[in-house]
Amino acid sequence: MLIYLKPLSIFPELHSDTLFGAITYAISQLYPEKVDEMVKSFEDEPPFIISSTFPFIFKEDFENGKKIKFYPKIIFPQKSKDLEEKYHPKDFKEYKKVKFIEENLFFDLLKGKLSESDILRNYNQYTFIKGLLMRESYNIDVNFGRGNNDFGQGFYTGESYEQAVSFISTYDDPSVYFMSFDDSDLKCKRYSVDREWMMTIAYYRETLDKYENHPLIKKIIKESRDCDYIIAPIADNKMFETINEFIEGNLTDEQCKHCLAATNLGMQYVFLTEKAASRLKIVERCYVCDKEREHYKKLKEDYRKLGNDKVKLAKAQYRGVGKYIDEVLAC
């Protein structure tokens, strides 16, 4: 029997002993008189056996609501060093990170129809996402990301290679994807560094709760979803702290705007609808070497320090200029 669990938030890997413990605890709460009997039954002939959870991909637009199941990566006796010497080191390094493989691949490997050497020899024909290895490349899922990003759930991209590398420079073995995009017949919402942008980000980052029923906030949020994709300035966590100062009434809108304008991180493209995501195509994948990663990491730190100084100046220069949030929402 297969049981599918649909997580509503970040979902950990659940091992079989954890699941069994959760079931046992639930029975002890619902039927306390039966829990000892249930536990004892496992000493002879277990009434059921639970595996650990395995991931799956499900989308309604798959044929017949098809679910793509994954199974744990098979450990073969061949020495990994032998494979590493034969194939591209980057491919091999990524393959080592694979935790689960697509069902068809799993059974082909078990039956001997496919080998790890075959996979590595044609690695560019496979897709690797978050520990999952699959034969097909599935459409980008705009519902996969967190709901508390700058503009809620969506698929987020940047505008340049340098910008992308600066954001991933702290990760091990990073890579950047170049993508093409056909925007014909799509509705775009553009933002600049202004009050609307600040309040939209504050809403999606869940700090505008006490104002969420205000007519102005409802209007702003409705407009943020009435489009296929968004082009807007990026707000990192440091910039969000500044936005939050405005929401808490410590900065005016003009102070906040000029502080944020002093910290220019470039633009982000946020794809909100399946229609928009379907127009994206991967053109090329670029691996980032260690030297390049360290270079951009240093640049990012230098730029952060310079940005902090500019923010201090903007706070002082525009002190008292503009409106506080209670004045904005009183209009």
Which domain covers residue 87, as residue numbers? 16-134
Count Cα neighbours of 209 within 13 Å in the Cβ-side half-sphere.
Answer: 4
8 Å CB contact between 102 and 135: yes
Domains: count for the chain: 2
| CA dist., res. 94 & res. 90, Å (int) | 6
Any domain includes 71: yes
8 Å CB contact between 236 and 265: yes
pLDDT of residue 324: 93
Identify how many contiguous H helices and E strands the chain contains and give both numbers: 14, 11
pLDDT of residue 300: 83
pLDDT of residue 10: 59
> Dmax of the chain from CA atoms?
78
pLDDT along the chain (331 residues), means of 10: 74 85 92 90 87 79 67 77 67 87 92 88 82 76 81 93 88 84 95 93 89 92 96 87 90 91 88 92 81 87 82 89 90 61
pLDDT of residue 331: 61
pLDDT of residue 78: 62
Q: What is the DSSP string of 212-236?
A: TTSHHHHHHHHHHHSSSEEEEE---
Beta bridge partners of 156: 270
Single out the residue in 102, 134, 166 at which a domain terminates. Answer: 134
Any domain includes 5: no
Any domain includes 143: no
| CA dist., res. 276 & res. 155, Å (int) | 10
311 and 217, same structural domain?
Answer: yes
240 and 190, same structural domain?
Answer: yes
320 and 175, same structural domain?
Answer: yes
Residue 143, helix vs strand vs coil: coil
Any domain includes 168: yes
pLDDT of residue 61: 46
